[in-house]
Structure 1
Amino acid sequence: MTHMKRTTLKFINLFTVFLFGSIAAIAQPGVGGTVAEGIVAVVGNNIILKSEVEGSFEALEAQYRQNGLTLEICDVVEDQLMEKLLLHHAEVDSVIVDDNEVESNVNRRLEALLGQFGGDIKKLETYYGKSMAEIREEMKPLMRNQLTAQRMQYSITQNVEVTPTEVQEYFATIPKDSVPLINSEVEMAQIVIYPAIDEEEEQYVIDKLKDFKQRILEGRSFATMAILYSEDPGSQKNGGMYEGIKRGQFVKEFEAVAFNLQPGEVSDPFRTVYGYHIVQLIAKRGEELDLRHILIKPKISDVNLNEAKNAMDSIRMKISRGDVSFEDAVDLYSEDDGTRYNRGMLMNPQTGDTKWDVSTLDRSVFYAIQGVNVGGISEPVLWRDDEQKEAFRIIRVVSRTEPHQANMQQDYGRLQAMALQHKQGKEMDRWLKEKINHTYIRINNEYYNCTFSRDWNNDGTSNRGE
């Protein structure tokens, strides 16, 4: 099979491998023995299973096809070889990942997966034919491998740096017709005001949850009450049920209550950033919980919404008149902790800087700043934050660039990142070549007759080292 030129997968997505590939428990083969049935390759002390390769290919091929790309199974095999080589040398070099890091990453992946099923745990479990607890346990070793391989790669490239001269030299090597086209980008800053919630409304919600608790203690079904009244989309349809909960998965106020309950006990109402809750502990297995909960969110009155909008109009007017600078207004008035300590600047989580490609902006932001000149400020717009709380905000357009081909003056940071990635890639290639020549590697060509981008087979004599 001819090797297809492509952008190399740095690592197989182990999360996807787990979901779509079958995992088999096989004893490690002895060094120098024949490659056993079902094993595609041996790299040091690690094996690559046929089921892993084909499960990964099935999952990833659909993603590639959606993006108009082609994936061949030999591409997956080579990326598996790279990952296993990294894992082998991570063990040699004592590169480890602690249990807490594995747990927190598994929790995040589970939350993302659950979101694909609308927060319905039963649908997820039915689709994969496993309980949430089983999914969690089977995901852990795969996540540990993924994190370990990533950490090993980081250890290889962490000391690689590029100088301004190297960035310029790298840019000069890019053919003119291949210089990246940079879409229009903006930098933005914001001021946020949250509407007040009346004390009477908060007390009403607390009293409502107290009534729910009393009715549950008198024999009403917690699950039925959650289905009827809970405002948590992640569990409402499932009777408020969450299974296999571990520390770090929910906000600390929620966990402080849940982990101190006894099985069957129902909590008093308590508050988190999402609203007010009551929780019933169903089962406790060491530091793992099954529980049900009901969430009620205090409602914001139209009066309070109007007051918040009027306050935002007043702030905008003060800035426009020159009574206060935008930066000072952020410090004086903004209630968003995520931006108020950074002069209101909105950071792009995808790039880690303050520039936003206009084509990727949320629709509400795009329309809010449409027609706003650099230095100008939008009208107040209603907004929901990451915790789905309503607020009003004004957005200042700090800078805007027109679409253009990348250049050293406007796009140095982007070109620096590209040059660094290129240099890191060369260092990674050097490391791979060295380690391939000094690591025991056996490939079973009976499964896939691949032509790889690297000489993983060598001549069969140099793979007898580490």
Structure 2
Amino acid sequence: MVDEIVWVVGDEAILRSDVETQRLYMQNEGQRFDGDPYCIIPEQIAIQKLYLNQAKIDSIDVSESQVLRSVDQWINMAINQVGGREKLEEYFNKKLSQIKEERKTMVREQQIVQEMQKKLVGKIKLTPSDVRHYFQNVPQDSLPMIPATVEVQIVTLEPKIPFEETDAIKARLREFTEQVNNGKMEFSTLARLYSQDPASASRGGEMGFVGKSSLVPEFANVAFNLTDPKRVSNIVETEYGYHIIQLIEKRGDRINCRHILLRPKVSDRELEEATARLDSIYTDIEAGKLTFEDAATYLSADKDTRNNKGLMVNQNYESSHVGTPKFEMQELPQDISKVVYGMKPGDISKPFRMLTDKQREVVAIVKLKARTDSHRANLADDYQVMKTMVENHKREELLNDWITKQQKTTYVRIADGWRNCDFKFPGWIKK
């Protein structure tokens, strides 16, 4: 049997192939199944059908551009993850165009469901007494453990790049441009051989469809002004290094292009000179001639922290501390984590070398501003974390109640062989 209907929810059918496709996507994203996937996935799809049906009634929709942006980001990430377009097609046993269409439908439905959930729940308003009352009734040993966190300030200096080095890089990129424009070499071949952007080099420099806001301004301004896919841009300097760009395709407010990135090499001599300059700053701070905060504000090359007296901010969107100065040790860049590990609050490190998130080699000193040890969650230290927990609990309660009510008024049929499950919501099977 090529396919079969395994569930019917209202007037919507769930096919065996729907379940298999969802299982492959979840597996590709590293999600683990807490139970039988052939029980878990159909129930998840059925719940989604309930939300989508209500969204139709309430005329809830999402913008096409928002869907396409998410699809392009996922396709680019998936290609990087499996090691190429061909391998992605092999994994799903489908052409890339089919994968994109499937993913587009999935993303649109996911986004509509999220909007529907927001409407059903509304804005949850909690007072401090609500949060206190909730946690007074929770057994202490079931409160979450809050991992140890640190707050770190940083000062960095960038080594001077000799003019000879930048001139040599520009000459090499001009040579690449000439080879492409003369038809001697393909841009994609040169990107695979020489580009220092590992994420795109393996794909011949191809970046995938992105919007202007996803690119640094200097790169975006040149890329979005390209019109001839056969020509190569002038050299573009960004914080990542030096690029040349080739247009592949424009689609509305998004663009797909190839690029070759070359980064200037920093010699040991320049690194030693930068280290000596920073060591002098460190000595002045230790002698009380200069505060760490002033050094960060007026001397640091780190533009992300110098307006904040050197204080680093957590940009990991998967972290519960995102947008705050708190970092769990594994969330810090490895070079910084190794230095901070043995420090006490108020300690300042000696100069050390590190790679920035732009893959530039710099020298740095750090100050440990604060350290909070691992502990059981409490209202005094972790109010915001606990408030979020109560909001999530309240939200889940409201949505679970809504699903239970919908089950009672929605026609559901489950095929033989798919019913013997320990469902999260047992009301699917009417007694």
Same fold (TM over 0.5): yes
Decide which of 119, 134, 138 is 2:102's aligned counterpart: 138
Decide which of 189, 196, 203 is 1:231's aligned counterpart: 196
- Work out whether 1:401 is the aligned partner of 2:367: no
Q: Which amino acid is 2:312 matched to?
A: L
- Inter-CA distance 384–60: structure 2 relative to 1 (3 Å threshold): same
- CA positional deviation for 1:215: 2.6
Does structure 2 conserve the Cα–Cα contact (< 8 Å) formed by 1:276 and 1:295? yes
- CA positional deviation for 1:57: 3.9
Q: Which amino acid is 1:189 matched to?
A: Q
- Inter-CA distance 145–307: structure 2 relative to 1 (3 Å threshold): farther
By percentage of residues, which structure has more helix?
Answer: 2
Does structure 1 conserve the Cα–Cα contact (< 8 Å) formed by 2:146 and 2:374? yes
Decide which of 372, 393, 401 is 2:343's aligned counterpart: 372
Partner of 1:317: 283
- CA positional deviation for 1:457: 3.7
Q: Which amino acid is 1:382 matched to?
A: R
After superposition, the C-alpha distances for 1:272-303 in whole angstroms (9 at most, x for unaligned) are 33222223345667777665432222222333
Does structure 2 conserve the Cα–Cα contact (< 8 Å) formed by 1:133 and 1:244? no
- Inter-CA distance 175–198: structure 2 relative to 1 (3 Å threshold): same
SS in structure 2 at match of 1:190: strand
- Describe how 1:98-117 pairs up with structure 2 within 5 A: 98-117=63-82
- Work out whether 1:262 is the aligned partner of 2:228: yes
Distance 1:401 1:435 in 2: 45
Partner of 2:127: 163
Partner of 1:34: none
CA RMSD of aligned residues (A): 3.2
Decide which of 148, 154, 177 is 2:141's aligned counterpart: 177
Identity %: 32
- CA positional deviation for 1:160: 0.5
- More displaced, 144-153 or 197-206? 197-206
- Describe how 1:416-431 pairs up with structure 2 within 5 A: 416-431=387-402
Partner of 1:27: none
- CA positional deviation for 1:451: 4.7
Partner of 2:170: 206
After superposition, the C-alpha distances for 1:173-226 in whole angstroms (9 at most, x for unaligned) are 221332323332222222233333333322222222112222333331124433
Distance 1:199 1:174 in 2: 64
Distance 1:354 1:124 in 2: 38
Distance 1:60 1:283 in 2: 30
- Work out whether 1:302 is the aligned partner of 2:268: yes
- CA positional deviation for 1:105: 1.9
- Work out whether 1:186 is the aligned partner of 2:157: no
- Inter-CA distance 157–356: structure 2 relative to 1 (3 Å threshold): farther
- Work out whether 1:274 is the aligned partner of 2:240: yes
Show structure 2 runs of 5+ residues with no match.
none
Does structure 1 conserve the Cα–Cα contact (< 8 Å) formed by 2:6 and 2:415? no
Partner of 1:91: 56
- Work out whether 1:337 is the aligned partner of 2:308: no
Structure 1 length as normaliser, TM-score?
Answer: 0.79
After superposition, the C-alpha distances for 1:74-107 in whole angstroms (9 at most, x for unaligned) are 2222222222222222233233321222222223
- More displaced, 56-65 or 258-267? 56-65
- Inter-CA distance 87–380: structure 2 relative to 1 (3 Å threshold): farther
Distance 1:91 1:160 in 2: 24
Partner of 1:42: 9
- CA positional deviation for 1:372: 1.0
- Inter-CA distance 266–374: structure 2 relative to 1 (3 Å threshold): same
Query: How many residues matched?
Result: 421
- Inter-CA distance 107–414: structure 2 relative to 1 (3 Å threshold): same
Q: Which amino acid is 2:307 matched to?
A: Y
Does structure 2 conserve the Cα–Cα contact (< 8 Å) formed by 1:376 and 1:397? yes
Q: Which amino acid is 2:55 matched to?
A: A
Q: Which amino acid is 2:40 matched to?
A: D
Q: Which amino acid is 2:5 matched to?
A: G
Distance 2:270 2:425 in 1: 65
- Inter-CA distance 58–225: structure 2 relative to 1 (3 Å threshold): closer
- Inter-CA distance 385–163: structure 2 relative to 1 (3 Å threshold): same
- Inter-CA distance 151–304: structure 2 relative to 1 (3 Å threshold): farther
Does structure 2 conserve the Cα–Cα contact (< 8 Å) formed by 1:64 and 1:70? no
SS in structure 2 at match of 1:263: coil
Distance 2:338 2:208 in 1: 41
Distance 2:82 2:27 in 1: 21
Distance 1:55 1:458 in 2: 24
SS in structure 2 at match of 1:310: helix
Does structure 1 conserve the Cα–Cα contact (< 8 Å) formed by 2:298 and 2:306? no
Partner of 1:448: 418
Does structure 2 conserve the Cα–Cα contact (< 8 Å) formed by 1:39 and 1:49? yes
- Inter-CA distance 184–266: structure 2 relative to 1 (3 Å threshold): closer
